[in-house]
Chains A and B, each alone.
Chain A
Amino acid sequence: MKIISFHLRGKMAHFRRYYANSSALSYSIPPRTTLIGIVAGLLGWERDKYYEIFSLNSCKVAVASCAPVKKCMQKLNLLMIKKAGDLNGSAEHHSQTATELIIPQNIRTGIIDYQVWLHHRDNKIMDMLGKLLQLEGRGYKSLGISLALGTVFNLGWVDDGCIIEGVEKEKSNDLSIASVIPVKKLIGIQTERMGADEYRLVKEEIPLEFDSQRHITERGLGNMMINLNSSPIPAGVESYVQLENGKCIMWME
Chain B
Amino acid sequence: MNLPQLTACIGDSLKNANHNLLTSLIKRLKKVKETETAYSVFLIFDLEAREIRFCLNKELSESCVDKYFYFGNNSAASSQYYLARETKSLNYLLTSVLSDLYSMLGKYNMPIGELASIIKRMESSGLIQLAPKKGDGRVNLGEFSIVKGNDKLNVAFDNKALTIDGHNYGFEAVIRLFINDDNKKNRYVLVIPVVKLENGEEIILSTHPEYLELVRQANNLGDEPQTGKDGGRVCYVCGSKKSGVSSDYSAKFSRSGINKIFTTTTINTSPYLQNNNYDQIYSMCTSCYQKILHGEKIITEQFRSRIAGEDVFIIPEGLTASFNYNFLFRLKNGVDLAFNTNIANKWLDDLEGALDFDQVQLYSLNFLFYRTDGNSVSILETIEDVPTLRFVKVMRILAEKTFDMEHQLREFSIGQIYRIIPVRTNKKGEQLDIGNVLSLYKALLLGEQIRSAALINYAADALDKGMRQLSKDKADNYQNMGLRYYAGGREDFFIKRIIMSYLVLIETCQQLNILDKPVFDFNGEGANHLDKINTASEKVNSSIEAMEKFLDDRKFDKEARALFYLGVLINRVAIAQLEKEHKKKPVLKKIQFQGMKSKEVYRLYLDVLEKLQQYDRFSLFAEAVLNRLHYYGSFNHTEMLGERENVFFIMSGYAYLVGTKTPDITKGEEDIMADSIEESDHNETPIS
Complex interface residues of chain A between 177 and 215 (CB less than 8 A to chain B): 197, 200-205, 213-215
CA distance A68 to B268 in the complex (A): 31
Complex interface residues of chain B between 199 and 252 (CB less than 8 A to chain A): 233-234, 236, 239-241
Q: Answer whether residue A90 sits at the interface, using C-beta atoms and an 8 A cutoff.
A: no
Task: With a 10 A CB-CB cut-off, give which of A70, A83, A201, A214 has the most chain B CB atoms.
Answer: A70
Contact with A21, one of B234, B264, B273 (Cβ below 8 angstroms): B264
Complex interface residues of chain A between 1 and 59 (CB less than 8 A to chain B): 17-23, 25, 48
Q: How many residues of B contact A (CB 8 A)?
A: 47
Smallest CB gap from A189: residue in B: B319
Contact with B239, one of A106, A202, A218 (Cβ below 8 angstroms): A218
Q: Collect the chain A residues with CB atoms within 8 Å of residue B479's CB.
A: none
Contact with A214, one of B280, B376, B449 (Cβ below 8 angstroms): B280
Q: Answer whether residue A152 sits at the interface, using C-beta atoms and an 8 A cutoff.
A: no
Q: Check B263–A221 contact: CB distance below 8 A.
A: no
Q: Answer whether residue B385 sits at the interface, using C-beta atoms and an 8 A cutoff.
A: yes
Smallest CB gap from A84: residue in B: B273
Q: Check B266–A21 contact: CB distance below 8 A.
A: yes
Q: Answer whether residue A143 sits at the interface, using C-beta atoms and an 8 A cutoff.
A: no
CA distance A70 to B449 in the complex (A): 9
Q: Collect the chain A residues with CB atoms within 8 Å of residue B266's CB.
A: 21
CA distance A38 to B93 in the complex (A): 56
Smallest CB gap from B443: residue in A: A70
Q: Check A204–B439 contact: CB distance below 8 A.
A: no
Q: Check B268–A216 contact: CB distance below 8 A.
A: no
* With known contacts A22-B261, A70-B446, A215-B280, A81–B378 Cβ distance under 8 A: no
Q: Check B384–A215 contact: CB distance below 8 A.
A: no
Q: Collect the chain B residues with CB atoms within 8 Å of residue A106's CB.
A: 449, 516
Q: Check B385–A81 contact: CB distance below 8 A.
A: no
Q: Which of B2-10, B41-49, B340-348, B567-575 contacts A (4 or more CB under 8 A)?
A: B2-10
Complex interface residues of chain B between 1 and 43 (CB less than 8 A to chain A): 1-5
Q: Answer whether residue B448 sits at the interface, using C-beta atoms and an 8 A cutoff.
A: yes
CB 8 Å contact bits of B466-488 with A (1 = contact, 0 = none): 00000000000000000000000
Q: Collect the chain A residues with CB atoms within 8 Å of residue B254's CB.
A: none
Smallest CB gap from A223: residue in B: B2
CA distance A223 to B6 in the complex (A): 13
Q: Check A19–B236 contact: CB distance below 8 A.
A: yes
CB 8 Å contact bits of A73-116 with B (1 = contact, 0 = none): 10000000111100100000000001010000110000000000
Instruction: Quote the shortest CB–CB distance from B391 to chain A (angstroms).
Output: 14
* With known contacts A100-B382, A215-B280, A18–B236 Cβ distance under 8 A: yes
Q: Answer whether residue B380 sits at the interface, using C-beta atoms and an 8 A cutoff.
A: yes
Q: Answer whether residue A72 sits at the interface, using C-beta atoms and an 8 A cutoff.
A: yes
* With known contacts A20-B261, A205-B5, A218-B241, A70–B448 Cβ distance under 8 A: yes
Q: Check B271–A197 contact: CB distance below 8 A.
A: no
CA distance A17 to B449 in the complex (A): 24
Q: Collect the chain B residues with CB atoms within 8 Å of residue A105's CB.
A: 448-449
* With known contacts A20-B261, A21-B268, A197–B379 Cβ distance under 8 A: no
CA distance A84 to B387 in the complex (A): 44
Q: Check A17–B446 contact: CB distance below 8 A.
A: no
CA distance A197 to B511 in the complex (A): 11
Complex interface residues of chain B between 366 and 410 (CB less than 8 A to chain A): 370, 376-382, 384-385, 387
Q: Answer whether residue B592 sits at the interface, using C-beta atoms and an 8 A cutoff.
A: no
* With known contacts A100-B382, A105-B449, A218-B240, A22–B269 Cβ distance under 8 A: no
CA distance A22 to B377 in the complex (A): 7
CB 8 Å contact bits of A214-234 with B (1 = contact, 0 = none): 111110110100000100000
Instruction: Quote the shortest CB–CB distance from B619 to chain A (angstroms).
Output: 48
Q: Check A215–B233 contact: CB distance below 8 A.
A: yes
CA distance A203 to B262 in the complex (A): 18
Smallest CB gap from B280: residue in A: A214
CA distance A218 to B240 in the complex (A): 6
Contact with A217, one of B234, B269, B513, B516 (Cβ below 8 angstroms): B234
Q: Answer whether residue B176 sits at the interface, using C-beta atoms and an 8 A cutoff.
A: no
Q: Check A73–B380 contact: CB distance below 8 A.
A: yes
* With known contacts A25-B382, A73-B379, A215-B234, A18–B282 Cβ distance under 8 A: yes
Q: Collect the chain B residues with CB atoms within 8 Å of residue A100's CB.
A: 379, 382
Q: Collect the chain B residues with CB atoms within 8 Å of residue A23's CB.
A: 261, 370, 377-379
Other A-B contacts than A21-B261, A81-B267, 13 sampled, CB-CB below 8 A, are A19-B4, A19-B282, A20-B262, A21-B263, A25-B382, A68-B449, A70-B448, A73-B379, A200-B385, A200-B447, A213-B280, A218-B240, A221-B239
Give 26 A-B contacts (CB < 8 Å), ordered by A residue: A17-B262, A19-B262, A21-B261, A21-B263, A21-B268, A22-B261, A22-B378, A23-B370, A23-B378, A70-B448, A71-B382, A73-B380, A83-B267, A87-B273, A100-B382, A106-B449, A197-B513, A201-B385, A202-B1, A203-B319, A204-B2, A214-B280, A216-B236, A218-B239, A220-B234, A229-B447
The 8 closest A-B pairs by CB, nearest first: A23-B379, A19-B262, A202-B385, A70-B448, A205-B2, A105-B449, A98-B379, A216-B234
